[in-house]
Structure 1
Amino acid sequence: MTATDTALPATDGLRSEALELLRALTSAPTADFHDGQYEAVEALVAGHRRALVVQRTGWGKSAVYFVASMLLRARGSGPTIIVSPLLALMRDQVSAAERAGVRAVAINSANQTEWVDVEEQLRADTVDVLLISPERLTNPRFRETVLPTLLERLGLLVVDEAHCISDWGHDFRPDYRRIAGVIATLPAGTPVLATTATANERVIADVAEQLGAGVDDVAEGSQGGVFTLRGPLARNSLRLGVLRLQSAKQRLGWLLTHLEALPGSGIVYTLTVSAAEDTARLLSEAGHVVRAYTGRTDAAEREQAEGELKRNEIKAMVATSALGMGFDKPDLGFVVHLGAPSSPVAYYQQVGRAGRATERADVLLLPGPEDPDIWRHFATASMPSRAKADAVLGALEAAGGPLSVPALEARVDLRRTPLELLLKVLSVDGAVANVKGGWISTGQGWHYDEERYSRIAAAREAEQQAMVEYERTEGCRMKFLVAQLDDPDPASCGRCDSCLRAAGQEVWYPTDVPTDWVEKAESGLSQVGVALEPRAQWPSGLSRLGVELSGKIPREEQPERGRAVARLTDLGWGQALRELFRTDETGRAVDAEVPAALARACVEVLREWDWAERPVAVVAVPSASRPRLVASLAEGLATLGRLEDLGSLELVGEGGGRGGNSAYRAADVLHRFAVGPELAGRLAATRGPVLLVDDLCDSRWTLTACARLLRQHGAPAVLPFALAQTG
C-alpha cells in the first residue's frame, strides 16, 4: 500500500466502532480491515478529507464508503451520495447495505416509478445512502429541486469508478464531468471519496486535481489536499492467455467446443451488440445455457440474467462492456473475449471480474483481425467534431424552442446514440440545456477545443497499439497489464501462457478447433434474419402507472421466438432499412410500400425460420406513422405464403412515444390496441399459429402486448415478424 500523504493519527475508539460496522456489513464476526481500508475511513471521518482510493477489484472499496457513511451519520452528518455508473452496481450495493442495516435507496432510469417515494424519504432524513447515476446530474428537475438541498446537508460524496471523470480514463463519460463542478461547490469540510480499480498515473493526477478543487493543501506531501491511497494491482488467481485464430467462425468453433470445460460459470465478452446476440444464439442452439447481455437488454431482463449468473444457473453471460464495472460475483470462473477491447486498461477492468474468491480463474483472449476497425469506429463515434456540434447547435437555434432527440435527429445527420452523446458533451460545456420538452440552445456558444481532442485521439491510438502489443508479447501478460496501470512493482506471474512457454511447459488452454464445430459456426453466421426473443416478465412498477400486471408473463400469453429481416445498424440490409424508415425535413415518417428487394428478403427469412409449426394466418399491427408500409407487408406475406389475411388489430389510443424506461414503454402500448369483433371471430376459427406483422421492433413491448391480445382471443401461437430491429 502506498499513500501520497500521512493519514491522521489512529483513534482506538473510532477504529473499534468502524470494525463493528465492517463486521455487520460483511456478516463475518472475525473480519478485519485490509491494508489501507481503515486509513481511508479515518481520513474521511476524522479528517473530513478528500480521498482517492485506487485498488484492485475485490479489495473492498465499497466497505470504505459504507463504513464511513454510517460513522458520519452517527456523528450527525447528512446522507451519503454515491455517484455510480451502472445499475448492476447499484442493485448489489443497495442489497449489501440493507444486510448491514444501512438505509440505502437509488434514483436511476430503472426505477422511475419510485422516485417520488425516494424524494420523500430524503426530505424526512430517513436515508443513509443515496445512489444515483451520473445522468441524474443532467436531469433538470433533479438538479434544480433535489440536489441543492442534498448538497447543503451532505455527509459524504462518493464517486465510484472515478476514472470516468478523466479524459484519459478508459471509460470516460461526459456526464461524469459535471461532478467536478459539484465538488467545487460543496460546503467546507465535506468529505469526498473517489474510487477506481483502473487508473494509471495520468488518470490519478487528473482525478486528484478535480477532487482538490477549492481545497488548500492540508498535509505535507499531499496533492491539492487529496489523500491518495494506492495498492498493488496484480491478480494472483488469474491465468491469462491469448489464442490467435484466423476467422470469426474459428473463434466461435473454439467456444462451441470448449465452453463447458471452462471452470464454473463466467462471461464471454464481445465488442458489439450484434456479436453478443449472435454468439448467444449459436451457443444456445448448440445446447449451452447462456444469456445475452448488452446495452439494449431491458433493465428487468438484465437483473434476471445477473441473478442467474450469480446463482450459477447459466454457464456464461455473453456480454458487451455493458456488463463490467460493479458486477459482483466473487467466484466467477472465467472470462473469454471474442475480440479485444481497445486498451490494456479496459481489458484489465473486464477480466478483473473473475477469480476474486477462487484460487484460479481462466482468462482467454481470442482477438480478431477486425478489432482495430471496431476500435476506430467507437473512437470516432465518441469524439465530438466541429461540424457535428455546429449542425446540432444550428438546428436548436433555428427551432426557437425545445426539440426532442427524435425531432433533432430528423434535422441533423447523426444517429441516435452519437447524437445523445454529443448533446451530453455540449450540455456539460454549457452550450445546450435539457429542459421540459427537449433540448434548447443556451446561446452561450461552444468552443471546439481542437488541441484537447487531438491529444485524446493520440492517447487512444497509443492505447490501441498497446493492446496489440499485449496480444503479441512473449513476456508475462499480467506484468504487462499492471505496468500499463503504472503499478510501481510489476512482477511476472508464472501462470500465463507466456510464462508457461518460457518455462518449457504446455499452455493451460486447448488450441484445437474441430472442423465440424467450425462448420456449425459458419452455418449459424450465415443465417438470414435476426431473432426477436420473447419477453418473459413484466417490468416492475406497472401498477404505479395504472397497469395491474407483474411478475412472469404467463406462457399462454407469450409470443414465440420471432424474426426480423435485419437490425437497422447492420452493414447489409441495415442500409436499405434505414432508407425505408427515414423521416422528411419536418420530422415525419416517410410512408411507402415494401420495396421488392426487401420483400424477397422477407420471403428468405420466412423460408429459413425454424418454427415448430407453420403459420396459417397473418395479423398486422396498426401503425399511425407508416400504415401503407405495414399493410403492404402483411398483404404481401399473406399472398406469398398462402396465408389467411385476418386483417389488423385496432388502434384505440394515443401513445406517449418510445421514451422512458421499460415500465413506461409497456404501459404506453398495453392499452393502445384492441381486437375488433370481426378479427375476434376470425381468430376463434383459426386452427394454427398466427404471423404478427409489424414494421419496426424497438423495445418488443408492442409485439408482446399484441401477441397477448391474440392469444387471449384464441390464437394457439403467435409468431412476431418485423422488417427491422433497432440497435
Structure 2
Amino acid sequence: MSTPDGLRDDAERCLRALAGEHARLRDDQWTAIRALVVERRRALVVQRTGWGKSAVYFVATRLLRERGAGPTVIVSPLLALMRNQIEAADRAGIHARTINSANTEDWQRIFAEVEAGEVDVLLVSPERLNNPDFRDLVLPRLAAGAGLVVVDEAHCISDWGHDFRPDYRRLRTLLAELPPGIPVLATTATANARVTQDVAEQLAGDDALVLRGPLERDSLRLAVVAVPTAEQRIAWLGEHLASLPGSGIIYTLTVAAAHEITGYLRDRGHEVAVYTGQTEPAERLQAEQDLQANRLKALVATSALGMGFDKPDLGFIVHVGAPQSPVAYYQQIGRAGRGVDRAEVILLPGREDREIWAYFAGLAFPPEPVVRSTLEVLDAADRPLSTGALEPQVDLSRNRLEMMLKVLDVDGAVRRVKGGWTSTGLPWAYDRERYERVTAERRREQQAMLDYIVTADCREEFLRRQLDDPAAAPCGRCDNCTGEHWPADVTAEGATQARDRLHRPGVDVAPRRMWPTGVKDDLGVSGRIKPDLQAETGRALGRLTDIGWGNRLRELFAGGDTDVPADMVDAVVKVLAAWDWPARPAGVVTIGSRSRPRLVTTFGHRIAEIGRLPYLGELVPVGEPVPRRHNSAQRLRSVWTSLTLPDPVAIAAKEAAGPLLLIDDRIETGWTMTVAARLLKEAGAQAILPLTLATPN
C-alpha cells in the first residue's frame, strides 16, 4: 500500500489522465478520495456543478482497482449523464459499461465482462434496482463484489429533495446489506441542510463523512426578464437568442411548450432541437451530439435534461417559465458556464407557471384510504397483480399508482415480483405527518421561487441561501447587483409572428385503439378495439398545457358555463379548413354535458351553422353524475353506461351520407369520445370525426 503522500501522488496522476496535465486535486477531493480508498468510509459530497465530483469517484476507482478491489457500481439517474460519464472514464483508461432500459440486449455480455474482471465501472439506472430479476439475482452479486458504490444525484434519495424518486429509496436497503469494508460515495450539487442530513443518515447514520462546499458560480450572470404575455416572451427569445454567447439550453415546463417554442425558433431561422421525456432515445442522442458539436444554437428541453448533460462551454441557460423550486432552478442553471468565463442565465416567468405547478402538485402521495384499498386488493389476490390489473380497482393514474407501489415496496408493505405486485402482509403505517410536511415544504419552495422573481437583492445569494450555503454573499454579477437589466420590450413584428405561431390552431387527437386491462369481466371488452367501432383521428383547438391557446382555454374552463366564445369558433373554423379528411362531414352530433351544456350545445350549433351541416342532436347523459376518475379502466367503467343514443339521433346518423363531426368541449382520457363513437358506429354511422376545444397534452 502506498504511503499517504505516495497515494496522493497516484491520485494526482489519475486526475491528470482524466482532466488534463494542468489539473490538480482540491483539498476536499483528496479528503474524499482518502476516506474511500484508505479508510473505506461512507461519504457525502455536496458541491457545486463543475466542482469535480465525478473526478472523485473515477480517481478512487482507479486507485482501488490498482489495489485489487472489485468494480465500482454507480447508480446514475439519466442516460445522457451515463454517456458523459463513460466518455470521461475512457479518457482516464477506466473501462465503464452501463445497464439501463435502452440496452437490455447487451446485459448478458456486460455481466460476463464484469465476472471476468474486465469492467472497472458499471453504471446502473435506479429503475433497475426494483426489477425483480436484477434485484434478486444480479444486484446481490454486484454489491458483494464491488470495490466502491457511488450514488450520483443523491438528493433523489430524499423526499425532501426537489427531484425525489422512489426507486432511489431502495438504495437504503442496498447500503444496509453491503459487506463490511465496501466504501460508499454519494454526490449531489443541490441539497439544502435538511436534504443533506437526510441523505447522510441513510448512508451511515452519524458516521458519514459530509463534505459540503460553497456553491458560488462565478461565471453565471443571473437575470429575470418580466415580459407580460406568452407571445411576447417567445418573441423576446426569438429576437435575443442570436446575441446569447455560444450554445445553450432553453428550458420549458411542459412538453407542449417545448415543441411550440422549437417550431417558432425554427421559423425564425434558429438551429434548435427539442428534447423531452417523450423524445425517442435515438433523437435524444442525436440532439445531445449536435449540441456538443455546436451544430445547434440550443436544445429546447424539459427537465428531462436537468441532470443529464455535461457540456462545459454552455454559454447560456434560458427558462421560459419558472421551475417550482429555487433548488431545482439552481441545479438546472448549474449546467452552464463550467468551462467559460461568462454564461448568461435568464428567467422569463409566466403567469401560467403557478397553474402548471398546481398540476404537478396533484401527483403527490395519495391519501390513506386509497393506499389502504390498494393493500386490501393485493391482500385478497391469490396471485401477483400487474399495474394494469390493479387499475380497475384503484382510482389512480398509471404513473401515480406506480409511484405509490414503489414507495410501499421500499416501506416493506408490498413487493414487486415476476408478474406484478404482491402484499407482504407486514404492518404498514401511513406517515400522514411526514407527507403533510413535504407538501408544506413544496408550497414554501414555490413561494420562494416567486420571491426570487421579484427580489431586488442579489439573485445568486438568494438561491444559495435557499440551499443553506453558509458562504452565500452578493455575487456582484447578476442584474440586480450590477443594475444592468435586459430590455423587456419586443418589436411589433416579432410579437405578431409569435402570436401567429402560438395561436395557430389545431392539434391531432389520436383515437383509443386498445381497451384497458381489467374490464373484460364486467364490460365484456378486451384487447384491440375493432376498427369498425373506432373513431378517426380527431382535432382539438389546442392543448391545456400550451403557452398559446392553453392560457385562453384554461381561462374558459376555470369559469362557469357560457356560450362558446367567438374567437374560439373562428379558430376552430381554421382547424376544419385545414383538416385533410377523405370525405366532407355530413352532420354534427354533440356529447351532452352536465357541467357545460351551454358551451357544448352552442359549440355544436355554431359549427353546424357555419359549415352548413345538419345538427343531428346529442348523446344524452343518464344516471347520476359521473365522478372524475384517474385511470383508463376506472374512467371507461364510469362512462360506459352514462351515455345513451336517442333513436332520432341514431336514425339520422345511419342515414347520413358521410362522416359525422362528434363534438365535445374537451377530451381528457379519451374514453367518453371512444364510447360515444362506438354507439354511433353501432347505429350505422359511416365514420366519426372527433372535434373538441381542448385536450390535456
Map of 2:161 onto structure 1: 169
Map of 1:517 onto structure 2: 494
Cα drift, residue 331 of structure 1: 0.5
Residue 120 of structure 1 aligns to a residue whose secondary structure is helix
Map of 1:25 onto structure 2: 18
- Within a 5 Å distance, the mapping from 1:353-368 to structure 2 comes to 353-368=335-350
Contact 2:509 2:539 in 1 (8 A): no
Contact 1:136 1:142 in 2 (8 A): yes
Contact 1:324 1:349 in 2 (8 A): yes
**Equivalent of residue 285 in structure 1, options 267, 278, 282:** 267
Letter in 2 for 1:432: V
Map of 2:150 onto structure 1: 158
Map of 1:388 onto structure 2: 370
Deviations 1:46-97 (A, max 9, x none): 1111111111111110010011011111111111111111111111111111
Cα drift, residue 399 of structure 1: 4.8
Contact 1:528 1:565 in 2 (8 A): no
**Equivalent of residue 252 in structure 2, options 250, 257, 270:** 270
Letter in 1 for 2:273: R
Does 1:450 pair with 2:452?
no
Letter in 2 for 1:208: A
C-alpha distance in 2 between matches for 1:578 and 1:518: 37
C-alpha distance in 2 between matches for 1:519 and 1:594: 40
Residue 358 of structure 2 aligns to a residue whose secondary structure is helix
Map of 1:558 onto structure 2: none
Deviations 1:678-717 (A, max 9, x none): xxxxxxxxxxxxxxxxxx9x9xxxxxxxxxxxxxxxxxxx
Cα drift, residue 388 of structure 1: 3.2
Contact 1:528 1:608 in 2 (8 A): no
How has the CA–CA distance of structure 1 residues 726 and 474 changed in structure 2, closer, same or farther, with 3 Å as cutoff? closer
C-alpha distance in 2 between matches for 1:332 and 1:382: 34
Deviations 1:231-265 (A, max 9, x none): 11011111111112222112112112221221111
C-alpha distance in 1 between matches for 2:424 and 2:216: 47
Between the aligned residues of both structures, percent identity stands at: 56
C-alpha distance in 1 between matches for 2:57 and 2:333: 24
Cα drift, residue 491 of structure 1: 1.4
Cα drift, residue 478 of structure 1: 0.6
Residue 303 of structure 2 aligns to a residue whose secondary structure is coil
Contact 1:264 1:333 in 2 (8 A): yes
How has the CA–CA distance of structure 1 residues 423 and 278 changed in structure 2, closer, same or farther, with 3 Å as cutoff? farther
Cα drift, residue 581 of structure 1: 7.0
- Within a 5 Å distance, the mapping from 1:629-708 to structure 2 comes to none
- Within a 5 Å distance, the mapping from 1:600-615 to structure 2 comes to 605=575, 607-608=577-578
- Within a 5 Å distance, the mapping from 1:279-678 to structure 2 comes to 279-444=261-426, 446-501=428-483, 506-507=484-485, 509-530=486-507, 564-565=508-509, 585-586=519-520, 588=526, 593=533, 598=538, 605=575, 607-608=577-578
C-alpha distance in 1 between matches for 2:311 and 2:448: 29
How has the CA–CA distance of structure 1 residues 259 and 10 changed in structure 2, closer, same or farther, with 3 Å as cutoff? farther
Deviations 1:256-299 (A, max 9, x none): 22212211111111111111122212222332211111111122
Map of 1:101 onto structure 2: 93
Cα drift, residue 413 of structure 1: 2.5
Deviations 1:92-115 (A, max 9, x none): 111111221111111111111111
Cα drift, residue 482 of structure 1: 0.8
Deviations 1:654-691 (A, max 9, x none): xxxxxxxxxxxxxxxxxxxxxxxxxxxxxxxxxxxxxx
Deviations 1:597-646 (A, max 9, x none): 9579899657437xxxx89899xxxxxxxxxxxxxxxxxxxxx9xxxxxx
Residue 381 of structure 1 aligns to a residue whose secondary structure is coil
Contact 1:79 1:156 in 2 (8 A): yes
- Return the TM-score normalized by structure 1: 0.72
Cα drift, residue 392 of structure 1: 3.3
How has the CA–CA distance of structure 1 residues 169 and 600 changed in structure 2, closer, same or farther, with 3 Å as cutoff? closer
- Within a 5 Å distance, the mapping from 1:239-250 to structure 2 comes to 239-250=221-232
Deviations 1:414-447 (A, max 9, x none): 2222222222212212222222222333333542
Map of 2:35 onto structure 1: 43
Residue 461 of structure 2 aligns to a residue whose secondary structure is helix
- Return the TM-score normalized by structure 2: 0.75
C-alpha distance in 2 between matches for 1:100 and 1:159: 20
Letter in 1 for 2:16: R
Aligned length: 558
Residue 362 of structure 2 aligns to a residue whose secondary structure is helix
C-alpha distance in 2 between matches for 1:39 and 1:595: 64
C-alpha distance in 1 between matches for 2:431 and 2:526: 35
Map of 1:136 onto structure 2: 128
Deviations 1:556-579 (A, max 9, x none): xxxxxxxx237xxxxxxxxxx689
Cα drift, residue 326 of structure 1: 3.7
Cα drift, residue 176 of structure 1: 0.9
C-alpha distance in 1 between matches for 2:94 and 2:35: 21
C-alpha distance in 2 between matches for 1:311 and 1:597: 39
**Equivalent of residue 73 in structure 1, options 58, 65, 68:** 65
Cα drift, residue 448 of structure 1: 1.6
Contact 1:565 1:605 in 2 (8 A): no
Does 1:225 pair with 2:202?
no
Moved more, 518-527 or 448-457: 518-527
5+ unaligned residues in a row in structure 2: which ranges?
542-571, 585-610, 612-666, 670-689
**Equivalent of residue 112 in structure 1, options 104, 111, 120:** 104
How has the CA–CA distance of structure 1 residues 600 and 120 changed in structure 2, closer, same or farther, with 3 Å as cutoff? closer
**Equivalent of residue 197 in structure 1, options 189, 204, 208:** 189
C-alpha distance in 2 between matches for 1:235 and 1:377: 32
Cα drift, residue 177 of structure 1: 0.8
C-alpha distance in 2 between matches for 1:600 and 1:164: 37
Map of 1:52 onto structure 2: 44
Residue 95 of structure 1 aligns to a residue whose secondary structure is helix
Cα drift, residue 10 of structure 1: 7.8
Does 1:15 pair with 2:8?
yes
C-alpha distance in 2 between matches for 1:169 and 1:270: 20
Cα drift, residue 523 of structure 1: 2.0
C-alpha distance in 2 between matches for 1:519 and 1:16: 62
How has the CA–CA distance of structure 1 residues 103 and 399 changed in structure 2, closer, same or farther, with 3 Å as cutoff? same
Letter in 2 for 1:404: S
Residue 322 of structure 1 aligns to a residue whose secondary structure is helix
How has the CA–CA distance of structure 1 residues 433 and 584 changed in structure 2, closer, same or farther, with 3 Å as cutoff? closer
C-alpha distance in 1 between matches for 2:518 and 2:5: 71
C-alpha distance in 1 between matches for 2:443 and 2:269: 40
Residue 133 of structure 2 aligns to a residue whose secondary structure is helix
How has the CA–CA distance of structure 1 residues 444 and 63 changed in structure 2, closer, same or farther, with 3 Å as cutoff? same
Residue 341 of structure 2 aligns to a residue whose secondary structure is coil
Map of 1:554 onto structure 2: none
Contact 2:513 2:534 in 1 (8 A): no
How has the CA–CA distance of structure 1 residues 12 and 578 changed in structure 2, closer, same or farther, with 3 Å as cutoff? same
C-alpha distance in 2 between matches for 1:420 and 1:529: 32
C-alpha distance in 1 between matches for 2:259 and 2:274: 6
Contact 2:227 2:489 in 1 (8 A): no
Contact 1:294 1:320 in 2 (8 A): yes
Contact 1:331 1:354 in 2 (8 A): yes
